[in-house]
Structure 1
Amino acid sequence: MIIAAPKSQEWLSDPQFLPLKDWIIQRTGLSYYSSRETEFAAALERVFGQGKSRPSAGVLLSRIQSNASDLDALVEELTIGETFFFRHLEMFQALQSAVFPDILQRKAASKTLRIWSAGCSIGAEPYSIAILLREMLGMQFKDWSIQILGTDINRRFLRVAQAGAYDPWALRGMPPQILHHCFTQEGNKWRLTDRCRSGVTFRSHNLASDPFPNSPEGLAAFDLIICRNVMIYFDQAFIQKLAHQFHDSLSPGGWLAVGHAEPHTNTFRMFRTVNTKGAILYQRPTGGSEILESISTPAYPPPRTAWAPLPVTLPALEVASDRFSTPESPSPFLSESFLPKPDAAAESPPQSYPLEAAMQLADRGALLEALQACDTFLLNEPLSAAGHCCHGMILYQLSEWVAAERSIRRSLYLKRDLALAHYYLGLVQERQGHNAKKHYQNALDLLLDAQADDLVPLGQGLTVREFRSLLAMPETLAEAR
């Protein structure tokens, strides 16, 4: 669990804090932080506030403007990398049933296919697409020139993607036959085989500041662009600009896939809208008349019924000896057994240890998913002090002060000696303008007899020594002593 430090309040009082935040948002497009000063300050503290010489916001702004490594370090803290293979199965089912049949037929003569995963995080999405295409094409895969490009602003995520080694959490819900044909186990990691990584490349790209389409850089003439759960962090003006850029980066007839939570309708009116079960897709028209027709459609058309797949006929696919299925068994991708049902457990943390899963999600910055996992746990364990404490800490990270206080007080009602709960109750009280000294003191008193190297309950490896140092930060607590 990420421990929030009161020290981050010093950033908020710095007169150059807002200019620093505004410059970062302009540079990265992360307008999600426009009204989240506390979260942004906490990120600054985690990255730049740990050393002996803590820079002011003005000094840090100058450093970041001239030092790419400082900017990269902050971006790594501000962006979220929680993802897993075949995440949101409805999208992959739509690619399998509608998008790829259309593209493969139109490109049958050239046998070339170009795909861009924009905001690819740790690479699970582009690799999932490669696995899907390999299974759909079978022996014909080797006859195609398939290029799948994954880009992200977070260089640390890209290093993970390029390494191609993942922990089991990123592979949850992966069908066993695919896991064992596409990965080899190395200790507690699973590494993609060279065959299943074929055609997938990664590089850094900033959607806000790096120009595209850009033919010399290979950022043009794509058959499919996927940009999921990225635009939710941008403001509407920037999203509209991106929609036009994505349109111009596609070949005529190319497809755009965005996340289910992304804006649509009027934003993507230059595309043909295609509704499939569980996913909305956008296709660049192939001719002038289609473009005029698309632009003239109402900004908010009524919902359409599920769209049937395009009436295409692919050449018969041979059964390949190097595919994941055998000649005696049907292709797992082309049968219901390959992709689990959309409501399968892959979309939610395993039910056997949901509280641990919630804390892992929170560590990775996936706070809404962490909250959902914690809610699931509390439905089954309503008297768990640890569960309510975890719930409150996640709500605190989401700046939901009142709800966070309610959950933390419930945990203390059930178990009065949770030092971490007293600490977070103090943080919540401070955010609401109340005196928090007694709560910090309660947390300290509970650890008086503990050894320095003992672990704080629910602290995810936090030692008593580290916790005492954390509690020594607030000036109010220093005065209380």
Structure 2
Amino acid sequence: MTGSKSLARFRDLLQKRLGWTFADNDLTQTATVLSARAKAHGLSEREYLDRLDGRRWTAEIAELAQALSITETYFFRHDEQFRALRERVLPELIGSRSGQRVLRIFSVGCSSGEEAYSLAIEAARAKPGDDWIVTVVGVDANRQMLAKARTAHYSPWSLRDTPEDMRERWFRKTSDGYRVDEKVAATVRFVEHNVAGEDPQLWRAAGYDLIFCRNLLMYLTDDVRANLYRKMTRALADGGFLFLGHTDSMGSRPEGLTVCHAGGTVYYRRQVTAPAPEPPPAPAPVTRTAPAAPIPARPDPGEGDYRRALGLLRDDRFAEALEALGDREVLLRGVLLAQLGRVDEARATAHRLIDVGGPQPDAHHLLGICHELDCADQAAGQYRLAAYLDPQFAMPRLRMGLLARRRGDGSGATDHLEAALRLLASESEERIVLFGGGFGRLALTTLCRTELDACGVRR
């Protein structure tokens, strides 16, 4: 029998570890979970609480989140919010993001994934063309629900509010339910994350154009809720949008946000800040070519193998480089696989790197290289995303310039090639080895000038 002191301590620890708060009518469930988890570890309740309080216990926190969280959800839940998204928010975002053609969406407290996939479907419906890049990140502390989300497979009950035409277009019927369309599912990734904790990469400033965080805030303590408000506001790009649950509110004058109303629902928009003045242009380099710099050191136990493999790539000895690298999951492995014609494996490597480390311009550039063989629009989209994530990255600008030349877009080619020419002088030696196709800095610079000449631009 769980004592009142043990139960009070358990609830305090749940607030501390998960940031959750509990109503008095949750006492029975909370006591049951405490008793069951202590028994599962062969500990008394006091010993279990001491261990939970004493040090980081990540696996057990995940188990508690699974046991205590409410997971009921379904596709396109709260139609009035999705109507505002469809009719107001996405058209505005597409208009303001037409230069980058990228939509970055964040589903906070995504449970079993229905919300994240609903957002991906709406974005896929709204985007003007295949060259737009849509990325959706879903986060939750419940490991079991995330495992279900990654299958992209759901029962008919999860689609109970999904119109028939939407089912036919965006889902595939299976023997026991529905599977999300593969192209849509490929735009969504799921991350285990406790919102009471910190993850600078996940919550990077201006990292998202749209955030949904519904039916989560009511379960959080005041401090955790206030901190999450701040993180979401900071994570929205200028002009980005935030949707909360109907029971949640940031008040009538939330800092940094404007309150919006449409179709009986309330949402928020990140205020647009005035652009900072552009810095003066960097002085031209004294010489046109940079000296061959040593490959940058990497603080990694296998650095010697990495450096040797990179050197072999420089000499076009791809198979030997792959053998020297072993099975280490690094960008270089994906580049070597692409060079050896193993494009599907290279693409899979890039996706895994993005899944583990979040948006990575080099991995998106590798995806662009892979897509050049089957879809030029997808390749251009990946290059554009790589350049967007790192404005100093010369190689995607060069590839976009070459693709524009192929389709007869002289103006677009000129813009990208001029940017590539400017950035090549300071491009890292490692990126030139990885993505230069065997050409050095001087040869790539000459290529840019030759292509610009063909566009009618004399340099």
Give the TM-score taking structure 2 as reference length: 0.55
Which runs of structure 2 are paired with 1:55-94 in the superposition (5 Å)? 55-62=44-51, 65-94=55-84
User: Could you say if the C-alpha distance between residues 24 and 270 of structure 1 is closer, same or farther in structure 2, counting changes exceeding 3 Å?
Assistant: same
2:2 aligned partner, one-letter code: W
Shift of residue 44, structure 1, vs aligned partner? 2.4
Report the counterpart of residue 116 of structure 2 in structure 1: 126
Which runs of structure 2 are paired with 1:143-182 in the superposition (5 Å)? 143-182=131-170
Shift of residue 48, structure 1, vs aligned partner? 4.4
**1:98 pairs with 75, 83, 88, which one?**
88
Report the counterpart of residue 428 of structure 2 in structure 1: none
Shift of residue 37, structure 1, vs aligned partner? 3.2
Shift of residue 71, structure 1, vs aligned partner? 2.0
Identity fraction in percent:
27
Given that residues 185 and 191 in structure 1 are in contact (C-alpha distance below 8 angstroms), is that contact kept between their aligned partners in structure 2?
A: yes
Given that residues 215 and 245 in structure 2 are in contact (C-alpha distance below 8 angstroms), is that contact kept between their aligned partners in structure 1?
A: yes
Report the counterpart of residue 217 of structure 2 in structure 1: 231
**2:107 pairs with 117, 121, 132, which one?**
117
1:247 aligned to 2:233? yes
1:157 aligned partner, one-letter code: M
Shift of residue 219, structure 1, vs aligned partner? 7.0
Partner Cα separation in structure 2 for residue 153 and residue 168 of structure 1: 25
Partner Cα separation in structure 1 for residue 125 and residue 89 of structure 2: 15
Name structure 2 gaps, 5 residues minimum.
276-459
Name structure 1 gaps, 5 residues minimum.
1-9, 290-481
Partner Cα separation in structure 1 for residue 191 and residue 94 of structure 2: 26
Given that residues 120 and 184 in structure 2 are in contact (C-alpha distance below 8 angstroms), is that contact kept between their aligned partners in structure 1?
A: yes
1:347-382 Cα distance to aligned partner (Å, 9 max, x none) = xxxxxxxxxxxxxxxxxxxxxxxxxxxxxxxxxxxx
Partner Cα separation in structure 2 for residue 239 and residue 288 of structure 1: 29
User: Could you say if the C-alpha distance between residues 218 and 241 of structure 1 is closer, same or farther in structure 2, counting changes exceeding 3 Å?
Assistant: closer
Report the counterpart of residue 263 of structure 2 in structure 1: 277
Shift of residue 34, structure 1, vs aligned partner? 7.4
Which runs of structure 2 are paired with 1:355-434 in the superposition (5 Å)? none
User: Could you say if the C-alpha distance between residues 215 and 11 of structure 1 is closer, same or farther in structure 2, counting changes exceeding 3 Å?
Assistant: same
Partner Cα separation in structure 1 for residue 244 and residue 229 of structure 2: 10
Given that residues 113 and 223 in structure 1 are in contact (C-alpha distance below 8 angstroms), is that contact kept between their aligned partners in structure 2?
A: yes
User: Could you say if the C-alpha distance between residues 12 and 263 of structure 1 is closer, same or farther in structure 2, counting changes exceeding 3 Å?
Assistant: farther
User: Could you say if the C-alpha distance between residues 46 and 90 of structure 1 is closer, same or farther in structure 2, counting changes exceeding 3 Å?
Assistant: farther
Report the counterpart of residue 200 of structure 1 in structure 2: 188
User: Could you say if the C-alpha distance between residues 270 and 191 of structure 1 is closer, same or farther in structure 2, counting changes exceeding 3 Å?
Assistant: same
1:12 aligned to 2:3? yes
1:268 aligned to 2:254? yes
Given that residues 17 and 58 in structure 1 are in contact (C-alpha distance below 8 angstroms), is that contact kept between their aligned partners in structure 2?
A: no
1:231 aligned partner, one-letter code: L
Report the counterpart of residue 183 of structure 1 in structure 2: 171
Given that residues 7 and 30 in structure 2 are in contact (C-alpha distance below 8 angstroms), is that contact kept between their aligned partners in structure 1?
A: no
Partner Cα separation in structure 2 for residue 27 and residue 141 of structure 1: 44
Partner Cα separation in structure 2 for residue 118 and residue 130 of structure 1: 14
Shift of residue 26, structure 1, vs aligned partner? 1.3
1:220-253 Cα distance to aligned partner (Å, 9 max, x none) = 5211111000101123333222212111111111
Given that residues 38 and 45 in structure 2 are in contact (C-alpha distance below 8 angstroms), is that contact kept between their aligned partners in structure 1?
A: no
Secondary structure class of the residue paired with 1:207: coil
Given that residues 112 and 146 in structure 1 are in contact (C-alpha distance below 8 angstroms), is that contact kept between their aligned partners in structure 2?
A: yes
**Number of residues of Structure 1 aligned to a counterpart in Structure 2:** 274
Shift of residue 216, structure 1, vs aligned partner? 7.4
Secondary structure class of the residue paired with 2:22: helix
Report the counterpart of residue 333 of structure 1 in structure 2: none
Shift of residue 215, structure 1, vs aligned partner? 4.0
User: Could you say if the C-alpha distance between residues 24 and 61 of structure 1 is closer, same or farther in structure 2, counting changes exceeding 3 Å?
Assistant: farther
Partner Cα separation in structure 1 for residue 202 and residue 69 of structure 2: 28
Given that residues 110 and 116 in structure 2 are in contact (C-alpha distance below 8 angstroms), is that contact kept between their aligned partners in structure 1?
A: yes
Secondary structure class of the residue paired with 1:11: coil
Give the TM-score taking structure 1 as reference length: 0.53
User: Could you say if the C-alpha distance between residues 265 and 63 of structure 1 is closer, same or farther in structure 2, counting changes exceeding 3 Å?
Assistant: closer
User: Could you say if the C-alpha distance between residues 89 and 39 of structure 1 is closer, same or farther in structure 2, counting changes exceeding 3 Å?
Assistant: same
Secondary structure class of the residue paired with 2:104: strand
1:434-457 Cα distance to aligned partner (Å, 9 max, x none) = xxxxxxxxxxxxxxxxxxxxxxxx
Shift of residue 169, structure 1, vs aligned partner? 1.2
Given that residues 166 and 189 in structure 1 are in contact (C-alpha distance below 8 angstroms), is that contact kept between their aligned partners in structure 2?
A: yes
Secondary structure class of the residue paired with 1:208: coil
Partner Cα separation in structure 1 for residue 204 and residue 114 of structure 2: 21
Report the counterpart of residue 369 of structure 2 in structure 1: none
Given that residues 74 and 114 in structure 2 are in contact (C-alpha distance below 8 angstroms), is that contact kept between their aligned partners in structure 1?
A: yes
Given that residues 203 and 235 in structure 2 are in contact (C-alpha distance below 8 angstroms), is that contact kept between their aligned partners in structure 1?
A: no
Partner Cα separation in structure 1 for residue 88 and residue 45 of structure 2: 53
Secondary structure class of the residue paired with 1:282: strand
Shift of residue 180, structure 1, vs aligned partner? 2.5
1:23 aligned to 2:13? yes
1:189-219 Cα distance to aligned partner (Å, 9 max, x none) = 32112122131111111111124xx247767
The Cα RMSD (Å) is 2.5
2:212 aligned partner, one-letter code: I
Given that residues 225 and 246 in structure 1 are in contact (C-alpha distance below 8 angstroms), is that contact kept between their aligned partners in structure 2?
A: yes
2:157 aligned partner, one-letter code: W
Partner Cα separation in structure 2 for residue 281 and residue 45 of structure 1: 41
Partner Cα separation in structure 1 for residue 202 and residue 115 of structure 2: 25
More deviation, 107-116/61-70: 61-70
Shift of residue 100, structure 1, vs aligned partner? 0.8
Shift of residue 47, structure 1, vs aligned partner? 4.3
Secondary structure class of the residue paired with 2:80: helix
